[in-house]
Amino acid sequence: MKAFKDLNLATKFSLITALSLSTVFAILIIVIYYNQKAKIIEDADARFFTHLSDLVSIIDEQRKSQENKVKQALFVAEKMIQEQGGIREGDSLINFFYIDPATEKRQNVKVKELYIGERTLHSDTLLADDFQTITGTMLAIEQFIPAVGYTSIVSSKIPAFNNVRTVGSVTLQKPIVEALNNDASYLGTSIGTISKKIITVACKPLKTNKESKLALYAYDVLQDDEGIKKNIIQKGYLEKGFAYLINENGVILFHPSPKAIGMDLKQISKEMFDFMTTNMTGQHKYIYTDQNEVVKYKYFQFYPSFNMFVAIVIPEMDLLDKPLSALRNLLIIGAIFSILICNFAIVLLANNFSTKPTKKILTKLSALSEGKSVLKEEVTQKDEYGQIFIAMNSLIERLNKASHFAKEVGKGNFGATLEVSANDELGKALVEMRNDLKEANEQETKRRWINEGITKFNEIIRLNANHIHELTFQVLSELIKYINANQGAVFLIEEDEGKEPCLELSACYAYKRRKYAKQRIYRGEGLVGQTWQEGEEIYLKKIPDNYIRIGSGLGDALPNCLFIVPLKFNEEIQGILEIASFNQFSDTEREFILKIVESLAAAVSVAKFNENTKKLLQESQYMMESLRSQEEEMRQNYEELQATQEEMFRREMESKQEKEELLVKIKQLEEKLKT
């Protein structure tokens, strides 16, 4: 310790720095090493899960190929039976031997005799052999025997079992039995436990002329499984990795090592088997140590069609040894060179680590005291000088931000922000000033916007005051544009004599195009009618999904807000204004709408009064013309009547004269007669 104290400052810095850097780089090497190890394992997981998916795809393609083959073969078998006249049941019983599944001994039973064409069906070989020759697959026909089950009575030769026929064997596979009992077909593929062959079965119920229940089978045993062995079992991964297949009971079905085939995984590692059987969906990884203390990664996936697991095993050293060895050497060499370079640099700077920072601090503080703009100093130290620089930079930053903030506010940018701490009195004062100016500017902007709008709409009302429908449309369309709404309508009250008063659509505007429509709404009907009845505006921010059934005058559009306002003038409702928008209306916009509605209501009232006055004037003129016409007609009638009376008087005088002349003649005649 004394020897260390006697060393000069540069040497002390050099030793301390070397020790510190060595520690730091050691930790850094460890961190990088384990991070890279995790990355390699992560990449390996993704790569081998992909390999696992490829293996499952190979098996699945083989299964689908065989299933298509036996489905077609089953169809051929049906055709062959139909061409031979079908299967019929005879009247007699015959002895038939089957193999008891429990004792594996032959048992005798009486069954109904069956025929195909003129041949007896039991133990018939002609149909099965012909079918096998044509399709390349095998055929079996089973007869249902009570208390026994479905039992094979016809069978092809099975090459996988030394060409033995399976006549007399009882079907025990639960899925097949359940399908046949439900009078349904079955199609499935599995791996034989004994033969280790891929077996695909297709079967369906078969009807006879009577009560016998039969089942028709077409099945295939994959003979050439070298493709699967080559692509799955014999395919290597890295140096010592391999793939193999295990059934759901833990028995190894396929393995690169023939000695491993047939071994029970539960006896090798019950923990591994339990982990696999509890993770039978998706892809999983299991890490274990084998009997040779070698850590291995097992990637596996359950394949339900064959009830087996597909697995890939990779030793950990295959993954990590080469890449991590090279990385470890590179890190060590890099750390040594870095320590030497850093140590040399610190020795050069040690003699001058105090003077320069002090001068910089004095220069900056002098400039700040004179009110000059100062740039922040880059902090390269973490000692007391570094703390001083940090505090000074904080002060410079706060002053620069305050200055910039004040300039932005002075330019009218009231959205400018300034971070203020709890004890920053200058910052608080600036923010308060900004808020006061912002509020005043917003009030002025709102006032100017409302005044400009009122002036604009007063001019529109003045220009269209004599045409009520054009007035309502122009005001409505410009209002929707001015407040950035989407749809709107104006309804005016119509009061015809002898009819119920109603609101009639005077103008509507939707999505920047004018719609001509005719619509009437009565008091209390829908939202518009409700506004008329209550005399108060309605503002809805949430429009229900069944808005169209509310009875609004806008149809079936579904806006985000709806504002319905009565047109009132001298407490008398002249109509209703309805505006819908996909944006919410602000308080200023609603206040503006109410002001425009007041002006519109007054204009509508005046327009209605002018229209009524004009109508009365027209009616008065019409009545005057009618009276003049009637007077002329009466004068003509009077003249005609007077002429008629004169004619009648003339005729009466002529008749009177003729009567007098006739009387004279009568008297003369009477006198002649007397003489």
* Other beta carbons within 10 Å of 49: 17
Report residue 618 as tokens: 């027209």
Least confident of 97-106, 182-191, 375-384: 375-384
Q: In the beta sheet, which residues pair with residue 191?
A: 198
Asked whether residue 348 carries a pLDDT value surpassing 70, the answer given is: no
Q: How high is the pLDDT of residue 444?
A: 82
Residue 86 DSSP symbol: -
**605 burial class (0-12, 13-18, 19+ CB within 10 angstroms)?**
middle
Least confident of 22-26, 39-43, 268-272, 344-348: 344-348
Q: Please give the C-alpha separations between residue 651 and each of 646, 659, 660, in angstroms, as whole numbers.
A: 8, 12, 14
The candidate with the shortest Cα–Cα distance to 492, out of 511, 519, 459, is 519
Q: Report the alpha-carbon distance of residue 503 to residue 612 in Å, rounded.
A: 18
| 127: helix, strand or coil | helix
How much is the average pLDDT of 140-163? 82
Q: How high is the pLDDT of residue 621?
A: 78
Percent share of the chain, pLDDT over 70? 81
Asked whether residue 631 carries a pLDDT value surpassing 80, the answer given is: no
Q: What is the mean pLDDT of the chain?
A: 79
Q: How high is the pLDDT of residue 372?
A: 67
| Highest mean pLDDT pick, 66-80, 123-137, 241-255 | 66-80
Q: How high is the pLDDT of residue 300?
A: 94
Query: Phi/psi zone of residue 395: left (φ > 0), alpha (ψ -120 to 50 degrees), beta?
Result: alpha
Whether residue 287 contacts residue 296, with contact meaning beta carbons closer than 8 Å, is answered with yes
Whether residue 116 contacts residue 127, with contact meaning beta carbons closer than 8 Å, is answered with yes
The candidate with the shortest Cα–Cα distance to 87, out of 113, 114, 105, is 114
Least confident of 124-133, 286-295, 362-371, 467-476: 362-371
pLDDT bucket at 577, cuts 50 / 70 / 90: very high
Q: How high is the pLDDT of residue 338?
A: 66
Q: Report the alpha-carbon distance of residue 96 to residue 106 in Å, rounded.
A: 10
Whether residue 561 contacts residue 583, with contact meaning beta carbons closer than 8 Å, is answered with yes
Q: How high is the pLDDT of residue 301?
A: 92
Whether residue 137 contacts residue 220, with contact meaning beta carbons closer than 8 Å, is answered with yes
Report residue 65 as tokens: 């190929």
| 554: helix, strand or coil | coil
* Other beta carbons within 10 Å of 409: 20
More confident residue, 349 or 324: 324
More confident residue, 511 or 440: 440
pLDDT bucket at 352, cuts 50 / 70 / 90: low
| 110: helix, strand or coil | strand
Asked whether residue 347 carries a pLDDT value surpassing 60, the answer given is: no
Tokens 């140096």 belong to which residue? Answer: 239
Asked whether residue 666 carries a pLDDT value surpassing 70, the answer given is: yes
Q: How high is the pLDDT of residue 514?
A: 44
Percent share of the chain, pLDDT over 90? 6
Q: Which residues, 6 or more positions from 51, have their beta carbon under 8 angstroms from its beta carbon?
A: 237, 243, 299, 312
How much is the average pLDDT of 325-346? 65
What is the C-alpha R_g of the chain?
A: 55
Q: Which residues, 6 or more positions from 14, have their beta carbon under 8 angstroms from its beta carbon?
A: 343, 346, 347, 350
Among the four given CATH numbers 3.40.50.300, 3.40.50.450, 3.30.450.40, 3.90.1150.10, the one describing domain 464-616: 3.30.450.40
Q: How far apart are the first and last CA of the chain?
A: 205
pLDDT tens string 24-70: 767 877 777 778 778 888 888 888 898 888 888 888 888 888 889 88
Show the CA angle centred on residue 355, arms to residues 360 and 12, nearest 5°: 135
Q: Report the alpha-carbon distance of residue 333 to residue 240 in Å, rounded.
A: 31
Q: How high is the pLDDT of residue 550?
A: 37
The candidate with the shortest Cα–Cα distance to 251, out of 238, 241, 260, is 260
Q: Report the alpha-carbon distance of residue 525 to residue 551 in Å, rounded.
A: 7
Asked whether residue 416 carries a pLDDT value surpassing 60, the answer given is: yes
Strands (DSSP E) contained in 382-484 are none
CATH number given to 84-221: 3.30.450.20
Instruction: Specify the pTM.
Output: 0.43
Q: Please list the alpha-helical segments (H only) found in 122-214.
A: 126-135, 174-181
How much is the average pLDDT of 180-207? 80
Q: How high is the pLDDT of residue 565?
A: 93
Tokens 């013309």 belong to which residue? Answer: 625
CA 582 to chain centre: 22
Whether residue 338 contacts residue 350, with contact meaning beta carbons closer than 8 Å, is answered with no
Whether residue 40 contacts residue 323, with contact meaning beta carbons closer than 8 Å, is answered with yes
Q: Please give the C-alpha separations between residue 103 and each of 98, 167, 522, in angstroms, as whole numbers.
A: 11, 17, 91
| Highest mean pLDDT pick, 118-122, 554-558, 577-581 | 577-581
pLDDT tens string 236-246: 777 788 888 88
* Other beta carbons within 10 Å of 236: 10
Q: Which residues, 6 or more positions from 590, have their beta carbon under 8 angstroms from its beta carbon?
A: 539, 563
Q: How high is the pLDDT of residue 375?
A: 67
Domain ranges across the chain: 2-61+328-350, 84-221, 353-447, 464-616
Q: How high is the pLDDT of residue 604?
A: 84
How much is the average pLDDT of 516-539? 81
Q: Which residues, 6 or more positions from 401, have their beta carbon under 8 angstroms from its beta carbon?
A: 418, 419
Same fold, 84-221 and 464-616: yes
Q: What is the 3-state secondary structure (H, E, C) of 253-292?
A: EECCCHHHCCCEHHHHCHHHHHHHHCCCCCEEEEEEECCC
Report residue 197 as tokens: 């062959």
